[in-house]
């Protein structure tokens, strides 16, 4: 049975000799982005495709490896399978390109984890408040400012920590809760 057969060392050596360079070349061509697919991963996937191509050709032609090895038909079939895996895998990587673009492998560059973020600028809270101030009253602006300056006032579940705001604003729990509810209605979000 074709599906029970495994590739033996002689068959592997014959494929490596004839198609090995092509397999490695295709592995390099699939992607230059190690974050989505390394050369080793690509080459391994291509070898799996090569083994599946052998099994498929055995089934299709109802011949053994030794009978079809070296034929023009098998050569075309094998190369077609190898290029198809390249195109298939390349298409999947292209879909991921936008999310992995400009990324750095943190395993190889651990210093990236400790880099200071210099993208923010000191007036971002003021800029944000100036953009939305026409929608907010003074108390609501104070709540927004407090939350933006201390993001720990947002609980892990996404709700505002009322007790932290009470301490920060010097208002009663009732007053802060009303401000938050009014603010939530204006921005159409439950805070």
Identify the pLDDT of residue 3: 43
Q: Is the pLDDT of residue 150 over 80?
A: yes
Which of 60, 52, 40, 74 shows the shortest CA–CA distance to 7? 52
Which tens digit of pLDDT belongs to each residue from 6-55?
667 888 888 888 888 888 788 777 765 555 667 788 788 888 888 888 88
129/142 Cα distance (integer angstroms): 10
Q: Which residues contact 72 (CB under 8 A, 6 or more apart)?
A: none
Residue 176 lies in a domain: yes
Please indicate whether residue 128 or residue 147 has the higher confidence score (pLDDT). 147
Which residue segment(s) compose the domain that 99 sits in? 2-103
Q: Same domain for 21 and 55?
A: yes
Q: What is the largest CA-CA distance in the chain?
A: 88
According to the model, what pLDDT value does residue 4 have?
Answer: 42
pLDDT at 172 over 90: yes
Question: pLDDT digit string (tens) for 69-116?
Answer: 888 888 888 888 888 877 777 666 655 555 555 566 667 777 766 777
Residue 191 lies in a domain: no
What is the predicted pLDDT for the residue at 117?
A: 65
Determine the straight-line distance between the first and last CA of the chain, rounded to whole angstroms: 65
**What is d(CA 139, CA 76) in angstroms, rounded to the nearest whole number?**
74
**One domain for residues 94 and 140:** no
How far, in Å, CA of 65 to CA of 82, rounded? 18
Asked if 81 and 136 sit in the same domain, the reply is no
Res 139 pLDDT > 70 = yes
Whole-number pLDDT of residue 1:
36
What is the model's pLDDT at position 98? Answer: 55
Q: Is residue 47 part of a domain?
A: yes
148 and 93 in one domain? Answer: no
Q: Give me the number of domains the chain comprises.
A: 2
């Amino acid at each position: 049975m074709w599906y029970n057969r495994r590739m033996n060392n002689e068959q592997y050596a014959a494929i490596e000799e004839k198609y090995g360079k092509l397999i490695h070349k295709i592995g390099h061509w699939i992607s230059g982005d190690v974050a989505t697919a390394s050369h080793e991963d690509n080459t391994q996937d291509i070898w799996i495709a090569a083994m599946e191509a052998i099994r498929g050709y055995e089934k299709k032609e109802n011949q053994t490896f030794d009978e079809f090895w070296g034929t023009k038909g098998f050569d075309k079939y094998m190369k077609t399978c190898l290029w198809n895996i390249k195109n298939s895998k390349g298409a999947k990587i292209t879909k991921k390109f936008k999310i992995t673009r400009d990324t750095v492998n943190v395993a190889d560059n651990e210093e990236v984890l400790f880099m200071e973020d210099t993208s923010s600028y000191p007036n971002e809270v003021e800029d944000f408040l100036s953009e939305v101030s026409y929608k907010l009253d003074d108390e609501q602006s104070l709540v927004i400012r407090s939350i933006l300056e201390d993001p720990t006032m947002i609980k892990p579940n996404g709700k505002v920590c009322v007790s932290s705001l009470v301490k920060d604003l010097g208002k009663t729990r009732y007053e802060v809760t009303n401000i938050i509810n009014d603010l939530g209605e204006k921005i159409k979000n439950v805070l």
